[in-house]
Amino acid sequence: MDELKLVKPQPFYMQIQQTIKEMIWKGILMPGDRLYEAQLAKQFETSRSPVREAFRALINEGLLVIDEKSQITVYKPSLGDVRDIYECRLALESRAVSIAAQCATDLQLERLSNTLKETCKAIERKEKEKIVQYNVCFHEQIINICGNLRLKKLIDDLHSLTYFYRVLNVKESGRAALILKEHTEIFNAIKNRNPEKACKKLIKHTKNDLENLINLIEK
């Protein structure tokens, strides 16, 4: 009887916070949609209190927006916002990748390499869900390598603000192969312990991503 623990359920307000986030990611809630405490409370079969608390946290995270009349809506980034968000990501992720290039272990490099291989397979099989998943995974692995949890959370929160659009991005365009190419270049720079190059490649990759996203949103 080694590791037998009872699982304590998380409080409602935490589960609700997480669930709303996922609903936005999955497109069940769309940017601009208005949210009602009572309606969600009914849906989750709770009272309004935990829903309210979840709202506050998500507002602080930026995923929900509250106006002067206390109406709450799903964050709908303007074009300018998207640029600002990417500017922040650029700052944070370029630092992350340059640290990763300095401190990645062999095992971590191998795992990164594996992720790229899996992406390649997924592309051949045209498994769109998996492609997105492995692309996300690639970025996550880099951030994990650099080991700064706070950096990770900041980047994650920024990602979640445009997650909905970004899924469209990969799904609807033929960019999967190009993304893989760029990821491979970044990986090689990390493997060769070349922080400057890794940084440069990542910046280029992110800027491409942004251009593509903007085209998509403008349509």
Residue among 71, 38, 37 at smallest CA distance from 54: 37
Of a second copy, DNA, none, which one sits near residue 12, judging by CB under 5 to 8 A according to partner kind?
DNA
Site for DNA contains 32 (CB under 7 A): no
Percent helix, percent strand, percent coil in the chain, to nearest 5: 75, 5, 20
- Distance, in Å, from the CA atom of 78 to the CA atom of 32, rounded to the nearest integer, reads 11
Tell me which stretch binds a second copy (CB under 8 A): 27-35, 46-54, 106-114, 186-194: 46-54
155-186 as b/e: b if 16+ CB within 10 A:
beebbbbbbbebbebbeeeebbeebbebbbbb
Q: Is 32 helix (H, G, I), strand (E, B) or coil?
A: coil
In the window 146-175, what residues touch a second copy (CB under 8 A)?
148-151, 154
Task: Look up residue 73 and give its two tokens.
Answer: 């809506």
Nearer to a second copy, 60 or 215 (CB): 60
1, 6, 7, 70: which one contacts DNA (CB under 7 A)?
A: 70
Among the listed residues 138, 152, 132, the one whose alpha carbon sits nearest the alpha carbon of residue 92: 152
Which of a second copy, DNA, none does residue 159 bind to, with CB < 5 to 8 Å depending on kind? none
Least Cα distance to 22 among 60, 66, 58, 71 occurs for: 58
- The answer to whether the CB of 50 falls within 8 A of the CB of 11 is yes
State the nearest-atom distance from the C-beta of 160 to DNA, in Å. Answer: 22
Q: Which of 12, 75, 86, 187 binds DNA (CB under 7 A)?
A: 12
From the list DNA, a second copy, none, which binds 91 (C-beta under 5 to 8 Å, kind-based)? a second copy
Looking at 48, 128, 130, 200, which residue binds DNA (CB under 7 A)? 48
Q: How far is the CB of 11 from DNA (least distance, A)?
A: 4
Q: Which residue's entry shows tokens 């507002």?
A: 59
Of 83-91, 125-133, 173-181, 191-199, the segment contacting a second copy by CB under 8 A is: 83-91
Helix (H, G, I), strand (E, B) or coil at 3: coil
Q: Give me the residues that bind DNA (CB under 7 A), please.
A: 8, 11-13, 35-39, 41, 45-50, 52, 66, 69-72
Q: Give me the residues that bind a second copy (CB under 8 A), please.
A: 11, 13, 49, 52-54, 56-62, 70, 81, 84-85, 87-88, 90-92, 94-95, 99, 148-151, 154
